Structure 1
Amino acid sequence: MTAAPSVPFSRFGALMLVAVGFALFLAMVWLIAAGEEFGDRGNDGQAHAAGTGLNGYAGFVRLLAAEGYDVTRSRSPSGLETYDLLVLTPPAYVDPEEFAELLQKREGLGPTLVILPKWDASLPPPILPEDAREKFKPGWVILTGAYPSEWAAELPEPYKFKHIKEALAKDEAHSWEGLGLSGRMPTRTMLYADSNARHEALIADAAGHTLAFKVIGEPGSAYNENAHWTIFVADADLVNNYGMAGQSRAEAALALVEELTYDGDISAVTFDMTLNGFGASENLLTLAFRPPFLAATLCLLLALLIVGWRAFQRFGPPALAGGPAIAFGKQRLIANGAGLILRARRLRLLGAPYAALSARRIAERLGLARPDPQAIDAALARRLPGEEPFTRRATRLEAASKPADILTAAQALDSLTTKLSQGK
């Protein structure tokens, strides 16, 4: 009997295969959860939290993170429902009714900072000289002009205001003051809000124009008494990457956040990116790792670990080493059957079955319908005259009891079958 073949993988090798496969699965889950953030694909040169151009707010995000805030860039509509500070950076064209509905919903959830868009920007054109293009980093833009947001005048009270553009002359100061700070704007092109009594100016320019204001509502109104504050930044250069280049403007941006976080009572800030076209629906894999589904996921992972651990343990006592290997196939089946007969010492019982099997073979070669011994003898006498009759050979096989006699009698029947097959 041949020895049992060796396993293709050791226990350690199988464990490594499972571990690597599980690690790849976790990597796939992370990539799906990362979504658009993977590879920094959100840095498209537009005015949002992932933009690194002059008009973007990536610098504002980094500033708040450096100050100890828990900053999140949200690509899910669920991020709009945060109870912490929400920063909205709407594009140049939004639906005033939908935006107003969002602001009204935020009144009972948490404070909101709205940064109105200012610049029309574009990526460097292909016609730029090669040496000039090489100076541009990913996400950098060319500012082509500033435009007010006309939809602000269509908002309901107390949010409604008119957004106005002003280009200062060279002899006019482009300075600002507010929140105990002061400084200069990076350009002479400025946007301001034509606010009213329902707004509290926080930052104004040298001419008294409101650059940032807090919505306070009518005195004694439900909004004034109960709503979370909303601050509008009319000139985005106070908080965008262009503005972050100046220390005084960075301090003003922090002061606006401190105003909305109630002097440190709120420590988390969410920058929404769904209004800028980066909304993504939830998927089952990412939901599985968030409450309340996280508990079920952890139980499933624990069950998988237990199953994996048990798979590497022995079930029951070990099999006897060196035992016969039962292989598949006719040859092995015959060999195993012969070994069983030898161990049982019942060789004398083989004669009659083998004689009956030989009768069927010989009858088939003689063209007989049935393996009748007398009919076989008569046909053999005509086909092979002079040969010993079949019945005599079969009787000798059935009467044999010793292995040598059984083998000799069986060979006599086999030789008769061979002669019939050869046409002799």
Structure 2
Amino acid sequence: MTAVAPARRGGGGFSPMVMLAVILVGVFSFAAFFTLSAFAPELTTGRDGRAHALSTSAVGFAGVVRLERVRGVDVSIGRQPMDPARLESLVVLTPENPISIEELDDAAGSATLVVLPKWAVGPHPTHRGWVSRYSQYDDGSLGVLINEIAPGVVFAQAEGEGAVRLSYRDKTTRTSGRIERLQTISGPNLTPMVTDGSGRTVLARFDRGGFLPIYILADPDFLNTLGMGDRNTAQAGLAMLDQMRVENEPIIFDVTLNGLGASRSALRLAFEPPFLGATLGLAIGAGLLGWRAAARFGPAAPARRAIALGKAALADNSAALIRLARREQRMGAGYARLIAGDLAELISGSRKSDEEAAALLNRLAGIHGVTPNYTQLEAEAANAKTPHQMLEAARKLHAWKEEMTRATR
């Protein structure tokens, strides 16, 4: 006869370590997705070749941002309109489309500089982030750009290319590097801040009746990356910014008008102080609950019926009612008689009255030397005053029944 070895029990489709790794990767991916969704605008590189503070192209302003930071100036990128920090900063706007009064008010700071565009450009065919110059904006296009915030302003473009001698409002003069087709501004409600050698306005203060100053820079080549490539032009442009700043206030380069802003959201607030602490607490709590569920001892308890069936449920419900009514100690005498009747029937084989059962049990206890006798135990149960005394008497009766059962076999 050949013995057949028992089949080995399979270990499941995946090992515990594999499942743990899958869960951890899933949790990390889920958290990373929501975090990146909340901060997606801040992760935008802005290397699109356009004229804004994140662009490193010739018409972009990333160069002046970096240069001001090297000089020790507090410079930041403004992605949220109506940020309270703007009220204590010089805000630089670089609009590419017509700007409305509402947009200006939302983005303005303690002082606001509007840098007008000059060159119409397109993406470079072979280098990402570079641009190819197509043409120069005409005065009509520039007028449409700021007509709502500064009506009546007129622009002019000089011919040729060369260094520009600039006169500042504080009576200082500087000579820039080579500027191609210098762009100037004129019109009502304009106060010249920086002029060229012919007295044409390059930087002006616009008076629109408000208490917060608005400045307009006609030629962006004094601040864009193309201008920062020349030492003299860079010094001239930085001197313009210094003239507009009050007591070394910070500078915010706005990008909301360029479509790179970030709006406030509940998801974003969850990852920023002071709500970040609550988010981390919830994440840690969820992790601990998951660990507790995975590392529990023993199998899961089987589900039970909401309403139990059978004699056990009836007994439990009856006991609960007795306990609720605080009648446990009054059950002693009845429990003793129940024990006596069951034991007497078990020994004699016939049902007996309470008196006959008590007499039989006392006589058998004396014969077999079991102490105390039944009458003493019945009296103790009947005289119980508290649930604890009743419970102790019931235990003694149960133990006495077991001993009598063994003695009479």
Q: TM-score, normalised by structure 1?
A: 0.56
Q: Distance in 1 between matches of 2:152 and 2:177?
A: 22
Q: Hey, what does 2:186 align to over in structure 1?
A: 194
Q: CA deviation at 1:243?
A: 1.0
- Provide closer, same or farther for how the CA distance between residues 194 and 273 of structure 1 changes in structure 2, counting only shifts above 3 A: same
1:117 — aligned with what? 117
Give the distance between the partners of 1:138 and 1:249, measured in 2 at CA: 23
Q: Structure 2 stretches of 5 or more lacking a match?
A: 1-5, 300-409
Cross-structure match for 1:58: 62
Opposite residue 94 of structure 1, the aligned amino acid is P
Q: In the alignment, which residue of structure 1 is the partner of 2:216?
A: 232
Letter in 2 for 1:142: R
* TM-aligned CA deviation for residue 190 of structure 1: 1.4
Q: Secondary structure at the match of 1:150?
A: helix
Distance 1:260 1:294, change over 3 A: farther
Q: How many angstroms does 1:54 deviate by?
A: 1.8
Contact 1:164/1:192 (<8 A) preserved: yes
Q: Please tell me the residue identity of whatever aligns with 2:220.
A: A
| 310 and 272 in structure 1: CA distance in 2 versus 1, 3 angstrom threshold | same
Deviation of 1:216 (Å)? 5.7
Partner amino acid for 1:228?
A: L
CA distance in 2, matches of 1:187, 1:37: 33
Residue identity opposite 1:299 in structure 2: G
Q: What residue number does 1:299 align with?
A: 281
Hey, what's the Cα distance between the residues in 2 that align with 1:200 and 1:155?
Answer: 18
Deviation of 1:287 after TM superposition, in Å, equals 3.7
SS in 1 for 2:131: coil
Structure 1 110/278 Cα, relative in aligned 2: closer, same or farther at 3 Å?
same
- Quick check: 1:150 aligned with 2:138? no
Aligned 1:63-82 pairs, distance under 5 A: 63-69=67-73, 71-77=75-81, 82=86
- Per-residue deviation, residues 384-403 of structure 1 (Å, max 9, x unmatched): xxxxxxxxxxxxxxxxxxxx
Asked if 2 retains the 8 angstrom alpha-carbon contact of 1:106 and 1:228, the reply is no
1:274 to 256, 260, 263: 256
Q: Does the residue aligned with 2:64 lie in a helix, a strand or coil?
A: helix
Q: CA deviation at 1:241?
A: 1.3
Report the equivalent of 2:360. none
**Which residue number corresponds to residue 27 of structure 1?**
32
- Partners of 1:77 and 1:153 lie apart in 2 by 19
Local SS of the residue matching 2:91: strand
* Residues 299-358 of structure 1: CA deviation (Å, up to 9, x unaligned): 32232233244345545xx68xxxxxxxxxxxxxxxxxxxxxxxxxxxxxxxxxxxxxxx
* CA deviation profile, 1:356-399 (whole Å, cap 9, x unmatched): xxxxxxxxxxxxxxxxxxxxxxxxxxxxxxxxxxxxxxxxxxxx
Alpha-carbon distance between aligned partners in 2 of 1:153 and 1:232, rounded to the nearest angstrom = 10
Residue in structure 1 matched with residue 131 of structure 2 by the alignment: 140
> What is the rounded CA distance, in whole Å, between the counterparts of 1:280 and 1:232 in structure 2?
25
Q: Distance in 2 between matches of 1:236 and 1:186?
A: 13
CA offset at residue 242 of structure 1?
1.2
Q: 1:248 aligns with which of 232, 236, 251?
A: 232
- 1:175 is aligned to 165
- Partner of 1:187, secondary structure, is strand
**Aligned counterpart in structure 2 of residue 265 of structure 1, from 238, 244, 249:** 249
Distance 1:165 1:208 in 2: 13
Give the direction of change, closer, same or farther, for the CA distance of 1:169–1:61 in structure 2 (3 Å limit): closer
Match of 1:395 in 2: none
Query: How far apart in 2 are the matches of 1:184 and 1:231?
Result: 20
**Amino acid across the alignment from 1:234:** A
Counterparts in 2 of 1:290 and 1:166: CA distance versus 1, 3 Å = same
Contact 2:107 2:254 in 1 (8 A): no
Report SS of the residue matched to 1:174: strand
Q: Secondary structure at the match of 1:45?
A: coil
Query: Which whole-Å CA distance do the structure 2 matches of 1:283 and 1:105 have between them?
Result: 18
Classify 1:307/1:242 alpha carbon distance in 2 versus 1 (closer, same or farther; 3 Å): same
| Structure 1 residue 67 displacement after superposition | 3.5
Is the partner of 1:265 in helix, strand or coil?
coil
From 197, 201, 205, give the equivalent of 1:210.
Answer: 201
Taking structure 1 as reference, are residues 190 and 294 closer, same or farther at Cα in structure 2, changes over 3 Å only? same
Single out whichever of 60-69 and 115-124 deviates more from structure 2: 60-69
The answer (yes or no) to whether the contact 2:94–2:117 under 8 Å persists in 1 is yes
Query: Shift of residue 121 of structure 1?
Result: 1.4
- Percent identity for Structure 1 against Structure 2: 28
Q: Using the TM superposition, give the Cα deviation of residue 296 of structure 1 relative to its aligned residue in structure 2, in angstroms.
A: 3.8
What's the CA shift for 1:281? 5.2
Letter aligned with residue 58 of structure 1: A
The CA distance in 2 between the partners of 1:153 and 1:71, in whole Å, is: 25
1:14–1:253 Cα change, 3 Å: farther
5+ residue gaps, structure 1, are 125-132, 320-424
How big is the shift at 1:154? 3.3
1:38/1:291 Cα in 2 relative to 1: closer, same or farther (>3 Å)? closer
How many residues are matched?
288
Q: In the alignment, is the contact (CA less than 8 A) between 2:52 and 2:258 conserved in 1? A: yes
CA contact (8 A) 2:35 2:271 kept: no
Mapping of 1:330-345 within 5 angstroms? none
- 1:106 to 1:25, Cα distance in 2 relative to 1, 3 A: closer
By how many angstroms is 1:236 displaced? 0.7
Tell me the alpha carbon deviations over residues 73-108 of structure 1, each in whole angstroms, 9 at most, x when there is no partner: 4455455983333221112x415xx2x23334566x
> Does the CA-based 8 Å contact 2:160-2:181 persist in structure 1?
no
Q: Structure 1 residues 299, 30: CA separation in 2 closer, same or farther (over 3 Å shift)?
A: closer
Normalising by structure 2, we get a TM-score of: 0.58
Residue 297 of structure 1: how far off its partner (Å): 2.2
